Chain A
């Protein structure tokens, strides 16, 4: 088992993503919610594909994760998914487990960031209501 490198960069570049949403916070939140729901389903299927060593399916799902995470400016996750796709298509199948571990670890960071964004927005809304 390889050690997962510690990443210091933010899991989502929120400023870049907000700019892509034309500065609309409501659209950004909506897209992050959709992303979270979609990525959950994809990653569940990815786990199943990894368990059954279905390389074609792994490549397809990694490709999906790569695209979706790039859309929400989750760059590290997108890069890991791209490597995972490459390994599934052309690399050493023995690296599949390590790739999966790294991807799920990064996904966890992304999820925590989305939760914190939602929490920040929620508390801001509460403050607005209170004031």
Chain B
């Protein structure tokens, strides 16, 4: 019954009964799954939010948070990945079945479990979760868009790390603790690489122009924001349950806005700019400043820091600059680990193009 676990989704087993928990873990591990366990609903919820579990097998009756309550709580996450939930119970009857389905359970398994039945039901779960291989698809889209651009190397990998660091730091402050949860952090990490996806709609003679853009060309260049926004908005309209597409759209639409209202395309100011756009704006600029381009050397961290601090309240949200300053060691660590000579996490090799355009690499076009 053992099967390869190369692509086996991680399973979380939740049961207050240690014997049943250990038994399931042993059997599932023998079947080739990667399994972890939790002894109560609250611990399980936190493990799902901060881990990468795609399947949860939970007991129905548990002290504290029951299996039903865990189901409801997992389903109330707006931005999280879909988690397939199997409720395990000795309870029978249509009423309980309906109650479980209403709470968001996908399947049921009676206790004590039958290993053959368990295996069959998990095969169904694997098929369902594999349909939503979201992370890979999103990042591949971003890399595809980037492949037309100049030699930006591991830009996407770094800026999603920077975006996550900023979101995590902000979430620890009273002002943002209710606005930024773990799903937001995960979603900004996932979708921030799509910020420049609209560049696919910019003609090569502008996108790859080695020299300075004319004002007319720059106006065309700026349209990448609108193209990206429209593309992602169409995707979101087609699939409104995919909340992360809304976040991706907002990032694409607003990462060139400035806190004082002098950015583009709409001249939004302050909190008119969605939080995700304000975060990605700083992450994008920091990476552009601190990495090497053909026409310039990488700027040292201290110099980039100075520019960012000077732009506090003009280009950037002061709260986000403050978060950056509290995380500057971590920024430098990301930069060191993901420099373009040692990039990892890239699913597609960078495409080398002969030309480079400084105006494309500096998001503000005024910091160069």
Binding site for B on A (CB under 8 A): 19-22, 24, 27, 30-31, 34-35, 38, 60, 63-64, 66-68, 70-73
Contact = CB atoms under 8 A, between A and B. Distances in A.
Q: Most A CB atoms within 10 A — which of B19, B90, B113, B115?
A: B19
Contact of A71 (B17, B30, B115): B17
B23 interface: yes
Task: Name the 4 nearest CB pairs between A and B, nearest first.
Answer: A70-B112, A68-B19, A67-B17, A71-B112
Interface SS, A side: helix
11 contacts: A27-B30, A30-B26, A31-B22, A31-B23, A34-B19, A34-B22, A38-B19, A67-B17, A67-B90, A68-B17, A72-B19
A68 B20 CA distance: 7
Contacts of B30: 22, 24, 27
A21 B112 CA distance: 12
Contacts of B115: 19-20, 22
B22 A20 contact: no
B18 interface: yes
Contacts of B19: 31, 34-35, 38, 67-68, 71-72
A67 B20 contact: yes
A35 B22 CA distance: 11
B1 interface: yes
Contact of A27 (B26, B90, B113, B114): B26
Contacts of B268: none
B61 interface: yes
Given A22-B27, A70-B90, 5 more contacts: A20-B114, A27-B27, A60-B63, A71-B20, A71-B23
Contacts of A20: 23, 27, 112-115
Interface in B102-118: 111-115
B111 to A, nearest CB: 6
A38 B115 CA distance: 23
A31 B63 CA distance: 23
Contacts of A70: 90, 111-112
Nearest to A73: B112
A77 B242 CA distance: 48
Contact of A38 (B18, B63, B114): B18
Q: Most B CB atoms within 10 A — which of A35, A63, A70?
A: A70
Interface string B1-30: 100000000000000011110110011001
Contacts of A71: 17, 19-20, 23, 111-112
Contacts of B26: 21, 27, 30-31
A63 B22 contact: no
A101 to B, nearest CB: 24
A40 to B, nearest CB: 13
Nearest to B27: A22
A34 B30 CA distance: 19
Contacts of B17: 64, 67-68, 71
A93 B90 CA distance: 24
B1 to A, nearest CB: 6
Nearest to A27: B26
B61 A63 contact: yes
A19 B112 CA distance: 12
Contacts of A38: 18-19
Nearest to A67: B17
Contact of B18 (A24, A34, A63): A34
A85 to B, nearest CB: 11
A102 to B, nearest CB: 20
A26 to B, nearest CB: 10
A68 B112 CA distance: 9
A19 B117 CA distance: 12
A27 B61 CA distance: 26
Interface string B114-147: 1100000000000000000000000000000000
A60 B26 CA distance: 26
B111 A67 contact: yes
A19 B113 CA distance: 11
Contacts of B114: 20
Contacts of B20: 67-68, 71
